[in-house]
Amino acid sequence: MAKPFASSADTAPTTEKLEILADGVYALTAEGDPNVGAIEGEDFLVCFEARATPAAARDWLAKLREHSDKPVKYLVLTHYHAVRVLGASAFDAEHILASEATRGLIEERGQEDWDSEFGRMPRLFKQPEEIPGLTWPTETFDTDYRIELGGDRGAIDLKYCGRGHTAGDIVAWHDKSKTLFAGDLVESEAALYTGDAFHFDWSTRTLDAVKSFRAENLVGGRGTIARSAEASDAAIEQTREFLSVMIQHVGHAHKTGGDLKSAFEATHAALAPKFGHWPIFEHCLPFDVQRLWDEFDGIDWPRIWTMERDRDVWAKLQG
């Protein structure tokens, strides 16, 4: 029987949980939906990720407002994916920060990504008619950007760690609380989306760079929050294992005369016992395998996902 396309049949609301990781450090998880967070400065807030729509962002802000009424001065976007950026207008942030690589990706493929993600994950797009258009950063940087928080609240360091989940991911590090917002570079008990990824860089030096922070709180893109150095390492290594298993099985099929379908089936069989029950596993894997197959074909720059290409790959692999 054909599986419903991507997450199109996933319509049940999830339960959201706001966690206070340290004084003035907040994260909201939602059973595998994209995580968001915030850190308090002396007289402003820094928010991380914007959700898929302004309405979805307002739901998060309402929960945050139970803890702080400071204005949002900075909105940090870890990468360009629609479900993390299109709610940005709800924050009224003075500064919207992203890497320069992310700005380029929005320019190159932002509209296609919006259309694609809307089709794949319609539940996340609450009141989509309110989205005012593509989200553009007000400031970008190549590798490093520091936000001084004022008082004794420390600073937030935004850092590009190399190519990974996309070409432009950044992480946000708050040294005072040893908290790392890692975006989709790390998933904890959630499947990986790698359709725009650089599997070889990500699974090696990029994750090594993420691990070098020695985070004691690690908020990944989806799933649970790691609340110790050991748990952070485990989340990073789980992410690496997912990538390594993919590389092993897609690579084997590619090198031994297999095709995309046989690569998908071998990878699915290898990952399913450990990862198959995690959120979005079935949804992501066809797109993941297609992108890694392209990398083995020597296609360095990820091809752009469109609604048509999404449906085509799905029909080939999960149809």
Least distance in angstroms from the C-beta of 193 to Zn ion: 6
- Among the residue ranges 16-24, 55-63, 78-86, 173-181, the one whose residues contact Zn ion (CB under 5 A): 78-86
Q: How far is the CB of 79 from Zn ion (least distance, A)?
A: 6
Q: Which among 13-21, 132-140, 183-191, 299-307 is the span making contact with Zn ion, rule CB under 5 A?
A: 183-191
CB within 8 Å of 273: residues ≥ 6 apart:
none
The pairing of beta strand 25-30 with beta strand 144-148:
unpaired
Q: Decide whether 254 or 291 has the Cβ nearer to Zn ion.
A: 291
Nearer to Zn ion (CB atom), residue 186 or residue 253: 186
Give me the DSSP letters along 170-237: EEEEEGGGTEEEEETT--BSSPPP-TT--HHHIIIIIHHHHHTT--SEEEESSBPPB-SHHHHHHHHH
Per-residue contact string for residues 125-164; x = within reach of Zn ion by CB under 5 A:
----------------------------------------
Gap between the Cα atoms of 301 and 131, Å rounded: 28
Nearer to Zn ion, 169 or 216 (CB): 169
CB of 80 to Zn ion, least distance (A): 8
Beta carbons within 10 angstroms of residue 280's beta carbon: 21
Q: Which stretch in 59-67, 77-85, 255-263, 306-314 sits in contact with Zn ion by CB under 5 A? A: 77-85
Q: At residue 306, what are phi and psi to the nearest 5 degrees?
A: -120, 165
Is residue 81 near Zn ion by the rule CB under 5 A? yes
Min CB(182)–Zn ion separation in Å? 11
Q: How many angstroms separate the CA atoms of 259 and 278, rounded? A: 26
| CB burial string 133-157: b at 16+ within 10 A, e below | ebbebeebbeeebebebeeebbebb
Q: SS3 for 141?
A: strand
CB nearer to Zn ion: pick between 81 and 174 = 81
Stretch that binds Zn ion, among 125-133, 182-190, 225-233, 309-317 (CB under 5 A): 182-190
Residue from 10, 33, 184, 288 touching Zn ion (CB under 5 A): that is 184
Asked if residue 254 lies in contact with residue 156, where contact means CB atoms within 8 angstroms, the answer is no
- For residue 107, give the 3-state DSSP assignment: helix
Cβ 169 to Zn ion shortest distance, Å: 8
Question: Could you say whether residue 117 binds Zn ion (CB under 5 A)?
Answer: no
Residue 51 lies near Zn ion (rule: CB under 5 A): no
Distance separating alpha carbons of residues 290 and 292, to the nearest angstrom: 6
Q: Which region among 65-73, 177-185, 234-242, 265-273 touches Zn ion (by CB under 5 A)? A: 177-185
Binding site for Zn ion (CB under 5 A): 81, 184
